[in-house]
Copies of this chain bind each other. A is one copy, B any other.
Protein backbone atom coordinates (compact mmCIF):
# COMPACT_ATOMS: atom_id res chain seq x y z
CA UNK A 1 0.00 0.00 0.00
CA UNK A 2 1.11 3.55 -0.72
CA UNK A 3 0.12 5.33 2.46
CA UNK A 4 -0.05 8.83 1.07
CA UNK A 5 -2.15 7.80 -1.92
CA UNK A 6 -4.44 5.77 0.33
CA UNK A 7 -4.91 8.68 2.74
CA UNK A 8 -5.72 11.03 -0.12
CA UNK A 9 -8.54 8.69 -1.07
CA UNK A 10 -9.90 7.88 2.38
CA UNK A 11 -9.62 11.12 4.35
CA UNK A 12 -12.40 12.82 2.35
CA UNK A 13 -14.67 9.89 3.30
CA UNK A 14 -14.34 10.62 7.01
CA UNK A 15 -16.98 13.18 7.93
CA UNK A 16 -16.22 15.33 10.99
CA UNK A 17 -19.02 16.26 13.38
CA UNK A 18 -19.55 19.72 14.88
CA UNK A 19 -17.50 19.11 18.04
CA UNK A 20 -14.38 18.26 15.99
CA UNK A 21 -12.41 21.48 15.56
CA UNK A 22 -9.40 19.72 13.97
CA UNK A 23 -9.74 16.35 12.28
CA UNK A 24 -7.06 14.26 10.55
CA UNK A 25 -4.00 16.15 9.32
CA UNK A 26 -2.37 17.72 12.37
CA UNK A 27 -0.34 16.19 15.21
CA UNK A 28 -3.54 15.77 17.26
CA UNK A 29 -7.26 15.96 16.66
CA UNK A 30 -8.87 18.81 18.61
CA UNK A 31 -12.34 18.37 20.07
CA UNK A 32 -14.44 20.89 21.95
CA UNK A 33 -15.56 19.36 25.25
CA UNK A 34 -17.39 21.52 27.75
CA UNK A 35 -15.49 24.70 26.93
CA UNK A 36 -12.08 23.00 26.87
CA UNK A 37 -10.00 21.83 23.94
CA UNK A 38 -9.38 18.11 24.09
CA UNK A 39 -6.35 16.83 22.16
CA UNK A 40 -6.35 13.26 20.87
CA UNK A 41 -3.62 11.30 19.11
CA UNK A 42 -2.62 7.68 18.66
CA UNK A 43 0.63 6.07 17.63
CA UNK A 44 2.06 2.57 17.31
CA UNK A 45 5.29 0.74 17.92
CA UNK A 46 5.81 -2.50 16.05
CA UNK A 47 8.57 -5.04 16.70
CA UNK A 48 11.07 -5.01 13.83
CA UNK A 49 9.78 -1.67 12.52
CA UNK A 50 10.05 0.84 15.36
CA UNK A 51 12.47 -1.12 17.54
CA UNK A 52 14.79 -4.08 17.27
CA UNK A 53 13.23 -7.15 18.91
CA UNK A 54 16.07 -7.33 21.46
CA UNK A 55 15.30 -3.83 22.81
CA UNK A 56 14.59 -3.69 26.54
CA UNK A 57 10.81 -3.83 27.03
CA UNK A 58 10.94 -0.83 29.38
CA UNK A 59 12.46 1.23 26.57
CA UNK A 60 9.84 0.05 24.06
CA UNK A 61 7.06 1.15 26.41
CA UNK A 62 8.68 4.51 27.12
CA UNK A 63 9.19 5.15 23.41
CA UNK A 64 5.53 4.42 22.72
CA UNK A 65 4.39 6.91 25.34
CA UNK A 66 6.98 9.56 24.50
CA UNK A 67 6.19 9.53 20.75
CA UNK A 68 2.64 10.42 21.69
CA UNK A 69 3.73 13.07 24.18
CA UNK A 70 5.70 14.68 21.37
CA UNK A 71 2.43 15.05 19.42
CA UNK A 72 0.77 16.74 22.40
CA UNK A 73 3.79 19.05 22.72
CA UNK A 74 3.54 20.05 19.05
CA UNK A 75 -0.02 21.31 19.65
CA UNK A 76 1.03 23.33 22.72
CA UNK A 77 -0.95 21.06 25.03
CA UNK A 78 -0.68 19.24 28.34
CA UNK A 79 -1.12 15.44 28.37
CA UNK A 80 -3.33 13.82 30.98
CA UNK A 81 -4.51 10.34 30.11
CA UNK A 82 -3.53 7.37 27.91
CA UNK A 83 -4.99 4.09 26.69
CA UNK A 84 -2.85 1.11 25.66
CA UNK A 85 -3.35 -1.86 23.37
CA UNK A 86 -0.99 -4.79 23.01
CA UNK A 87 -1.26 -7.54 20.41
CA UNK A 88 1.57 -9.97 20.94
CA UNK A 89 2.48 -13.60 20.95
CA UNK A 90 1.83 -15.69 23.97
CA UNK A 91 5.36 -15.18 25.18
CA UNK A 92 6.88 -15.07 28.61
CA UNK A 93 4.90 -12.91 31.01
CA UNK A 94 8.11 -11.34 32.27
CA UNK A 95 8.49 -9.39 28.99
CA UNK A 96 5.04 -7.85 29.49
CA UNK A 97 5.68 -7.16 33.16
CA UNK A 98 8.82 -5.26 32.31
CA UNK A 99 6.94 -3.40 29.55
CA UNK A 100 4.27 -2.30 32.03
CA UNK A 101 6.83 -1.29 34.65
CA UNK A 102 8.56 0.89 32.06
CA UNK A 103 5.25 2.38 30.95
CA UNK A 104 4.16 3.11 34.51
CA UNK A 105 7.45 4.81 35.36
CA UNK A 106 7.40 6.96 32.23
CA UNK A 107 3.71 7.85 32.71
CA UNK A 108 4.35 8.94 36.27
CA UNK A 109 7.27 11.09 35.14
CA UNK A 110 4.96 13.04 32.80
CA UNK A 111 1.89 12.94 35.09
CA UNK A 112 -0.09 10.83 32.62
CA UNK A 113 -2.64 8.24 33.77
CA UNK A 114 -2.77 4.96 31.82
CA UNK A 115 -6.50 4.56 32.31
CA UNK A 116 -7.54 1.70 30.10
CA UNK A 117 -6.63 -0.57 27.26
CA UNK A 118 -6.91 -3.94 25.64
CA UNK A 119 -4.65 -6.98 25.51
CA UNK A 120 -4.90 -9.59 22.77
CA UNK A 121 -2.89 -12.54 21.53
CA UNK A 122 -1.84 -12.78 17.88
CA UNK A 123 -2.95 -15.84 15.91
CA UNK A 124 -0.69 -18.87 15.31
CA UNK A 125 1.82 -18.25 12.52
CA UNK A 126 2.92 -14.85 13.77
CA UNK A 127 6.68 -14.47 14.27
CA UNK A 128 7.66 -15.28 17.88
CA UNK A 129 8.74 -11.73 18.75
CA UNK A 130 5.78 -10.07 16.97
CA UNK A 131 4.20 -7.19 18.86
CA UNK A 132 1.92 -4.34 17.86
CA UNK A 133 1.50 -1.84 20.67
CA UNK A 134 -0.62 1.29 20.37
CA UNK A 135 -1.08 4.17 22.73
CA UNK A 136 -3.79 6.78 22.58
CA UNK A 137 -2.93 10.03 24.29
CA UNK A 138 -5.35 12.69 25.44
CA UNK A 139 -4.38 16.19 26.43
CA UNK A 140 -5.78 19.63 26.99
CA UNK A 141 -5.01 22.94 25.35
CA UNK A 142 -6.30 26.43 25.84
CA UNK A 143 -7.41 28.39 22.76
CA UNK A 144 -4.68 30.99 23.33
CA UNK A 145 -1.92 28.35 23.34
CA UNK A 146 -3.15 25.90 20.72
CA UNK A 147 -0.55 25.47 17.96
CA UNK A 148 -1.40 24.24 14.50
CA UNK A 149 0.79 23.33 11.55
CA UNK A 150 -1.20 25.57 9.18
CA UNK A 151 -0.53 28.97 10.75
CA UNK A 152 2.89 29.96 9.40
CA UNK A 153 3.09 33.27 7.55
CA UNK A 154 5.67 34.30 4.96
CA UNK A 155 8.68 36.08 6.40
CA UNK A 156 8.85 34.19 9.69
CA UNK A 157 11.94 32.58 11.15
CA UNK A 158 11.92 28.78 11.14
CA UNK A 159 13.29 27.46 14.42
CA UNK A 160 14.00 24.05 15.90
CA UNK A 161 14.70 22.44 19.23
CA UNK A 162 17.49 19.91 19.61
CA UNK A 163 19.53 18.14 16.94
CA UNK A 164 18.79 15.99 13.92
CA UNK A 165 19.96 12.77 12.29
CA UNK A 166 21.21 9.32 13.28
CA UNK A 167 18.40 8.83 15.77
CA UNK A 168 18.36 5.06 15.38
CA UNK A 169 22.08 4.38 15.50
CA UNK A 170 22.66 6.79 18.38
CA UNK A 171 19.85 5.40 20.52
CA UNK A 172 18.13 8.81 20.53
CA UNK A 173 14.92 7.18 19.26
CA UNK A 174 14.67 5.43 22.64
CA UNK A 175 16.15 7.91 25.10
CA UNK A 176 14.75 11.21 23.79
CA UNK A 177 12.81 13.65 25.95
CA UNK A 178 9.52 14.88 24.47
CA UNK A 179 9.62 18.67 24.26
CA UNK A 180 6.57 19.33 26.45
CA UNK A 181 8.25 21.95 28.61
CA UNK A 182 9.78 23.76 25.64
CA UNK A 183 6.45 23.68 23.80
CA UNK A 184 4.56 25.06 26.80
CA UNK A 185 7.06 27.92 26.96
CA UNK A 186 6.76 28.68 23.24
CA UNK A 187 3.06 28.15 22.62
CA UNK A 188 0.92 31.26 22.48
CA UNK A 189 3.89 33.47 23.38
CA UNK A 190 6.44 32.98 20.62
CA UNK A 191 4.59 30.74 18.17
CA UNK A 192 1.21 29.37 17.20
CA UNK A 193 2.58 27.16 14.42
CA UNK A 194 4.46 24.01 15.35
CA UNK A 195 4.99 20.40 14.27
CA UNK A 196 6.99 17.58 15.76
CA UNK A 197 9.68 15.88 13.70
CA UNK A 198 9.05 12.15 13.66
CA UNK A 199 9.41 11.36 9.96
CA UNK A 200 12.44 13.56 9.17
CA UNK A 201 13.08 17.31 9.35
CA UNK A 202 12.61 17.85 5.63
CA UNK A 203 9.37 15.90 5.39
CA UNK A 204 7.78 17.30 8.53
CA UNK A 205 8.88 20.88 7.77
CA UNK A 206 7.41 20.55 4.28
CA UNK A 207 4.15 19.29 5.83
CA UNK A 208 4.03 22.46 7.93
CA UNK A 209 4.84 24.51 4.82
CA UNK A 210 2.16 22.79 2.75
CA UNK A 211 -0.48 23.14 5.47
CA UNK A 212 0.38 26.83 5.87
CA UNK A 213 0.66 27.60 2.19
CA UNK A 214 4.21 28.92 2.49
CA UNK A 215 7.56 27.92 1.11
CA UNK A 216 10.74 27.53 3.13
CA UNK A 217 14.36 28.57 2.63
CA UNK A 218 16.70 26.53 4.83
CA UNK A 219 20.25 27.54 5.71
CA UNK A 220 21.58 23.95 5.59
CA UNK A 221 24.81 24.74 7.43
CA UNK A 222 22.80 25.98 10.42
CA UNK A 223 20.78 22.79 10.85
CA UNK A 224 21.96 21.30 14.16
CA UNK A 225 23.26 17.79 13.51
CA UNK A 226 23.64 14.99 15.98
CA UNK A 227 27.25 13.90 16.41
CA UNK A 228 28.38 12.20 13.18
CA UNK A 229 25.31 13.10 11.14
CA UNK A 230 25.75 14.59 7.67
CA UNK A 231 23.21 16.94 6.13
CA UNK A 232 21.25 14.15 4.47
CA UNK A 233 20.94 12.29 7.78
CA UNK A 234 19.83 15.46 9.56
CA UNK A 235 17.24 16.20 6.90
CA UNK A 236 15.91 12.69 6.36
CA UNK A 237 16.57 10.22 9.14
CA UNK A 238 13.46 10.81 11.24
CA UNK A 239 12.58 9.82 14.80
CA UNK A 240 14.14 13.03 16.12
CA UNK A 241 11.06 14.01 18.15
CA UNK A 242 12.08 17.65 18.08
CA UNK A 243 9.91 20.69 17.38
CA UNK A 244 9.91 22.87 14.28
CA UNK A 245 8.05 26.17 14.66
CA UNK A 246 7.85 29.64 13.18
CA UNK A 247 8.57 32.88 15.04
CA UNK A 248 8.20 36.49 13.93
CA UNK A 249 11.75 37.78 13.27
CA UNK A 250 11.25 40.69 15.68
CA UNK A 251 10.65 38.20 18.52
CA UNK A 252 13.66 35.94 17.95
CA UNK A 253 16.08 37.94 20.11
CA UNK A 254 13.63 38.01 23.03
CA UNK A 255 13.05 34.27 22.64
CA UNK A 256 16.77 33.55 22.65
CA UNK A 257 17.43 35.67 25.72
CA UNK A 258 14.50 34.24 27.71
CA UNK A 259 14.99 30.57 26.69
CA UNK A 260 15.31 28.78 30.05
CA UNK A 261 16.30 25.33 28.74
CA UNK A 262 19.59 23.63 27.90
CA UNK A 263 17.86 22.22 24.80
CA UNK A 264 19.45 23.75 21.68
CA UNK A 265 17.32 26.45 20.03
CA UNK A 266 18.27 27.18 16.43
CA UNK A 267 17.05 29.36 13.58
CA UNK A 268 17.41 27.26 10.43
CA UNK A 269 15.63 29.35 7.82
CA UNK A 270 12.81 31.61 6.72
CA UNK A 271 9.31 31.13 5.38
CA UNK A 272 8.50 32.70 2.02
CA UNK A 273 5.40 33.24 -0.06
CA UNK A 274 6.81 31.44 -3.08
CA UNK A 275 6.64 27.68 -3.88
CA UNK A 276 4.25 26.65 -1.05
CA UNK A 277 4.99 23.27 0.51
CA UNK A 278 8.55 23.12 -0.84
CA UNK A 279 11.88 23.58 0.94
CA UNK A 280 14.79 25.21 -0.88
CA UNK A 281 18.29 26.11 0.23
CA UNK A 282 19.72 29.62 -0.07
CA UNK A 283 21.11 28.86 -3.54
CA UNK A 284 17.68 27.96 -4.91
CA UNK A 285 18.24 24.21 -4.78
CA UNK A 286 15.04 22.27 -4.02
CA UNK A 287 16.10 20.17 -1.04
CA UNK A 288 13.09 17.88 -1.39
CA UNK A 289 14.26 16.98 -4.88
CA UNK A 290 17.91 16.39 -3.93
CA UNK A 291 17.56 14.60 -0.58
CA UNK A 292 15.51 11.61 0.54
CA UNK A 293 12.40 13.34 1.81
CA UNK A 294 11.96 11.42 5.03
CA UNK A 295 11.24 8.30 6.90
CA UNK A 296 7.73 7.25 5.98
CA UNK A 297 7.14 4.23 8.17
CA UNK A 298 4.27 5.95 9.93
CA UNK A 299 2.00 8.92 9.75
CA UNK A 300 0.32 10.87 12.49
Contact = CB atoms under 8 A, between A and B. Distances in A.
Interface residues of A, number: 82
* Residue among A40, A103, A108 having the largest count of chain B Cβ atoms under 10 Å: A40
A118 B42 contact: yes
Tell me how many chains of this kind the complex includes: 2
Given A15-B108, A42-B136, A127-B126, A31 B81 contact: yes
Nearest to A17: B113
A81 B28 CA distance: 13
Interface in A91-135: 91-93, 96-97, 100-101, 103-104, 107-108, 111-127, 130, 132, 134
Given A1-B92, A28-B116, A40-B136, 7 more contacts: A6-B97, A14-B113, A20-B81, A34-B34, A40-B116, A42-B85, A48-B123
Interface of A: 1-3, 5-7, 9-10, 13-17, 19-20, 22-24, 28-29, 31, 33-36, 38, 40-44, 46-50, 80-81, 83-85, 87-88, 90-93, 96-97, 100-101, 103-104, 107-108, 111-127, 130, 132, 134, 136, 138, 140, 297-300
11 contacts: A1-B90, A1-B121, A17-B80, A23-B113, A23-B116, A31-B138, A33-B36, A41-B83, A42-B117, A48-B124, A125-B127
